[in-house]
Amino acid sequence: MRYRTLGGTGIEVSVHCLGTMMFQNGCNSDHDDCVRIIHAALDQGINFVDTADMYGQGESEEIVGKALRGRRDDIVLATKVHFQMGEGRNRSGNSRRWILKAVEGSLRRLNTDWIDLYQVHRPDDSTDVEETLSVLSDLVRQGKIRAFGCSTFPAEEIVEAHHVSERRGLARFRTEQPPYSILARGIEASVLPVCQRYGMGVLVWSPLAFGFLTGRYRKNQPIDLSTGRPTIRPERFDPTIAENGAKLDVVEQLVELAASIGCTLPQLAIAFTVAHPAVTSAIIGPRTMPQMEDLLKGAALTLDDATLDRIDEIVPPGTNLYNPNAPLPPRSLTDTALRRRPLADRAAA
C-alpha cells in the first residue's frame, strides 16, 4: 500500500481508506465479522479508517472502536458530525452546542482519547461558519482532535471558510471529503482545484457511484429494487428512468474497458479516482470480506494515459451524469496533466 500526506497536516495515510458505513444494522450487523474485515484491511497496509456518528446511530463507531483496541497508535482515525442523532432538537448541525456534545459521544464509542480527523459532514445554513470553525479550533487546542475538515462542501463555501479562518485567526479546514467517481466528475471543475489551491487533503467517497460501478447492475438485466442499495434510493436504480438508462449505457462501455486491461469494473473505478493529483485517498466501503479482498487486489492497478483517455471519451472531464447541464469545462478539466498523477505514482500499492 502506498501512502500520501494528508494536505498540510504531515499525517501520512494509505491511498485506500477503509470506509465503515456498511458496518451497521441493515447492512452488516455482525460485529465480529466487521472487526475481522477491519483487521484484514489493516493487515494489508491500510492505516486510514473513516466513519461517522450517524452510521447506524453510532453503531459503526462502536464497531471501529472494538477493532482498533491495541492498534490505535498505528491508525489514522476519521469520523464526522452533522446529521441528526436521536430524537429532539439541537441534536444535529454544526453549532458549538452540538459539536461539543457530539465529539464526546464519538470519543466514547470509538474508545479513544483523540480523533485524528474530525469532519463536518455537510454544510449548515443555520450556523455561521465562524461558529463552527471556532469550536473545532478549540477542540484542536484541547487535544481531542488533531485536525478537522469538511465533507461535500461546494467550492464557494470552502473558499468562504478559509477566508473566515484567516480573518479571525482560526484553524482551517485541512481536508474535504467529496463524492467522486467516473459517473460523477463534476468536482473536477472547481472543488478539486480549490482544494489544491488551499493545500487540502481530499478523501473521496462513493468511487463506485452508489454501487453502479460494482458491475451488479447491467443493461437489459433485471434490477431488484427491493434489496441492497436500491432500497435506500430506488430512483437511482430504476432502469425506466432515462438518467439511469444513460448510466447503464456507460457501465457497459466501462465493463468492456476493464476487461481489455485485465481488471474488474470496481478496480477500474477506484484506480481512476486516485489517479487525480488532487486526491489523497479513496474511501472503499466493503460490506463483506470478499468485497474488500476484490477491491484490494486492484490496489496496484496503474491506469495508463490510453485508458484514462478512453474514460474521458466515455464520460468527459467535469461531467456529472446526475447533472447533464454542466457548464463549459475550465482548464482543470481540459489539461490532462492537471488531472493525472505521473504514471509511476498512480497506483495505491
The whole-angstrom separation of Cα 348 and Cα 282 is 9
Q: Contact, 174 vs 314, CB < 8 A?
A: no
Element at 145 (helix H, strand E)? strand 145-151
Q: Is 55 a catalytic residue?
A: yes
Residues 6+ apart with CB under 8 A from 280: 4, 5, 6, 7, 13, 15, 175, 201, 202, 203
Q: Which amino acid is at 330?
A: P
Task: Give residues with Cβ within 8 angstroms of 20, minimum separation 6.
Answer: 34, 38, 49, 50, 51, 55, 60, 63, 64, 285
Cβ-based neighbour number of residue 138 at 10 Å = 16
Is the Cβ–Cβ distance between 85 and 52 less than 8 Å? no
Of 3, 55, 180, 198, which residue is the catalytic one? 55
Helix residue spans in the chain (DSSP H): 31-43, 59-67, 96-110, 129-142, 155-168, 191-197, 242-260, 265-274, 289-297, 305-314, 331-334
86 Rama class: left (phi>0) / alpha (psi -120 to 50) / beta: left
In this structure, the strands spanning 3-5 and 12-14 are: antiparallel
| 131's grid cell | 461558529
- Residues annotated as catalytic (active site), given as ranges: 55
